[in-house]
Structures are given as C-alpha cells and as structure tokens.
Structure 1
C-alpha cells in the first residue's frame, strides 16, 4: 500500500512538472505576457499576443519554460542589400557551434491573425516553404516586411512586438556576417550572438 502511494505521488509530481513546462500554463490568464530576451549584446523585452496567436505564443513559452533557448544563437542577420534596408534577425534553432537543437512537434501557422510583419515585430519561422513546419525558430522584423504577410499563400505568423531593447536589435543588425559552411547559410554572424536566457517577466496587475 505504501509503495502504491509513493508511485501515485511520483506520478502526480511528474505530471505537474510536465504541465509546468507547457506554455499554456505560463501566466495562463495573461493575454499579453512579456518576456526578456537576454543576449550577449544586450536585452530585448517582447510583449506576446495570446489573443491573436495563442498557439504560437504557447509554443514559444514552452521552449522558454524548458530553458531550451539558453545558449542558442541568432544565426541569420540579413540585410536586403539590393534595396539598402534591414530585413530580419532570426534565431533560436542552433547552438553556438551551429548544431541543431531539439524540436517539438510543428505547429499550425497562425499568419492570418491580423498581426502584420512590421518593424520590430516577432514572428514564427518555418522551413522549406512548408507553412506549418514551424517549431522553435523565430525572427524579428527589422523593417516593414509586407511581403511576409499572408496573401493568396500563407505568410509568417507574427505573435508579438518589441517593447524595449531596440538598440540591442540594432547592435545585432550591425554585426559582421558571412557564409557558414556547416549550415549552408549566408548572413551568419562571424562572432556568435548568443541568447543567454529568456525569462517571463512578472505580470503587471491591471
């Protein structure tokens, strides 16, 4: 009987531990949770929008809760050279050695939610032109990227916006980049820009 009780207690804490790692349980009554992204070049505060992008926000918060983003890098710092403007800063998917990180199941693309890829918004990345392949990588729009919004085809789902730390993004945008043989991408920072931590900020009472 005692052994059965211990098993039940163990299962209870295991289930609750797992639930605590799911983004939907992170400040579950807060429609606009805020996170601070601490990088090797400074911090960025982002307000997430559960009202428009609940799936994407909860997915992002799951990785945050698991501390899965710690030690990942921004692997893509791209300028639109032809039009002489900034484009995107993308990260969250590789470590500083550019090895891919663990991915949970892909999520539904919420790009038709009314949020647009304006400057300093945060959006979900997807792979190989497969709109519902997004897992953990995200990007910041560093200009108004209207062509990333949905039209007849799927776009990229915006799920929040930058509230503080614009200067940090500008610092990242200014780093020297080049081609990386390992991942086969251009616009990769020559010196890794590391995400040291992402933490959920305390909810401000209304």
Structure 2
C-alpha cells in the first residue's frame, strides 16, 4: 500500500472516531443538562419570580405557589380572578378521592366558567411542570386549548408500577419519576392539562376535602366552599 493511501485511511479513521466521541459527549451533556433542569414543584420554597396564594376553604387553608415563568397567561388568569373575587363562595363541584378536587365553576356543574381574556385560552405545557400530587392544574373541556376558570388540585397518593415503567420508557426526567414514585400523582394528565402551581402547605386539607361523601358523579353531598383566594405575593 502506498504511503499516501495509508495516511488517507488514518486521517479518515481519526475523523470518524472524533465525530463519534463528539456525538457521544454531546449526548451525555444533553442528558446532564436535562437532568439538571429546574423542577420548581420539588421544593416548597417560593423561588424568585414565583407567586403565592392562600386558598381559604370551608375545611381549612391551602397555600399554593404559582409559576408565571412557565405558565404566564394561566397564572395571570388565576391571579386576576382571585383578586377580583371571582372564586369567592364557589364550590369544589367535583371531588374524586385518590384522584383530584376540582373547582372554579360559577355554575357548579363543570360546564361554566370564563377566562379574563373573554374566551378560552391556550394550554401552556412546560417540560419543567408535571401533574404530581399537589399540582394545581387547569381543567378543560376535554380538548386542548379550552381553559377558562376551572382548576383542580391533584390528590392521588400513589403511582402504579406499570405507570412508572411507562415514565421510564418515555424518558421522563429521573427526578420527576422519583417524585411520582415517592408522593403520587396523575402522570397520564401530563401534556393534556396546564400545570401552573403546587401546594406547599395544606395537603392535609386537600385530603380531607377528597374524603367527603359524593354522588356517582363526584358531586359532594354537602358543599365544600372556596371562601376566598388571597394573593400573598
């Protein structure tokens, strides 16, 4: 073999190996970056830029931090409604134990409500937010981009083993998988409902509300009221 041909082969080999290791390193860096993403639901601390509300119910106080960076229109809608007294005196009209508690409908039927924008507004799905236990999420009309005033708090205390496997197959962030395993939640609602807040105090109240007697549609036998929502910061 001529010396020139040998040098060409060596150079090609070096380029191929260099490309391989570059792609491998890039993939590793991407994985580390994804794993190190901030998941604000995993801390009870109210971080810079977040908002805080106090939801006073007929069964106790629930404090929730909100995420305007990840869901700006949704948080603005909720904050404005709260400050204007829109939610005062409404009920949790749909309660499903080991699932969620839902409110924010002036009609109390699940068919009412309006946004501050005068119409339905779009979903704000963030890769940083998930339907973990304690998540505050928007209820919708069963299809995308139909948000108004209704919301729910995830109350489910566990995630099935098969669901955990599905999360792993879907390449969920490991920190989120661990949070689902440790605390529970409703991962099948991810990507379908906008998460915009997280309970940081009062999950015992959420559990108490979830345990009230209801009819076959989840309507409580006795009203559970949202007395007032106060914006604390």
Is the shorter-chain TM-score for this pair beyond 0.5, marking a shared fold? yes
- After superposing on structure 2, the runs of 4+ consecutive aligned residues of structure 1 that deviate more than 4 Å are 98-102
What is the aligned counterpart of 2:151 among 125, 138, 143? Answer: 138
1:94 Cα deviation from its structure 2 partner: 3.1
Separation of aligned partners in 2, 1:116 and 1:44:
19
Separation of aligned partners in 2, 1:49 and 1:99:
25
Alignment of 1:80-99 (within 5 A): 86-94=98-106
1:114 Cα deviation from its structure 2 partner: 2.6
- Which residue pairs with 1:107 in the alignment? 121
1:31 Cα deviation from its structure 2 partner: 1.9
Higher helix share: 2
What is the aligned counterpart of 1:125 among 135, 139, 161? Answer: 139
Confirm or deny that 1:116 pairs with 2:117.
Answer: no
Confirm or deny that 1:36 pairs with 2:47.
Answer: no
Separation of aligned partners in 1, 2:198 and 2:153:
9
- Which residue pairs with 1:45 in the alignment? 63
- Which residue pairs with 1:24 in the alignment? none
1:111 Cα deviation from its structure 2 partner: 2.1
Matched positions, count: 155
Q: Which runs of no fewer than 5 residues in structure 2 stay unpaired? A: 1-47, 157-184
TM-score where L is the length of structure 2: 0.63
> For the structure 1 residues 193 and 156, does the alpha-carbon distance in structure 2 shift closer, same or farther, using more than 3 Å as the test?
same
- Which residue pairs with 1:158 in the alignment? 195
- Which residue pairs with 1:188 in the alignment? 219
Contact (CA 8 Å) 1:35, 1:198: kept in 2 or not?
yes
Higher strand share: 1
TM-score where L is the length of structure 1: 0.71
Contact (CA 8 Å) 2:107, 2:113: kept in 1 or not?
no
Secondary structure (helix, strand or coil) at the match of 2:114 reads coil
- Which residue pairs with 2:17 in the alignment? none
- Which residue pairs with 1:5 in the alignment? none
Secondary structure (helix, strand or coil) at the match of 2:93 reads strand
Q: Which runs of no fewer than 5 residues in structure 1 stay unpaired? A: 1-29, 80-85, 180-185
Secondary structure (helix, strand or coil) at the match of 2:149 reads coil
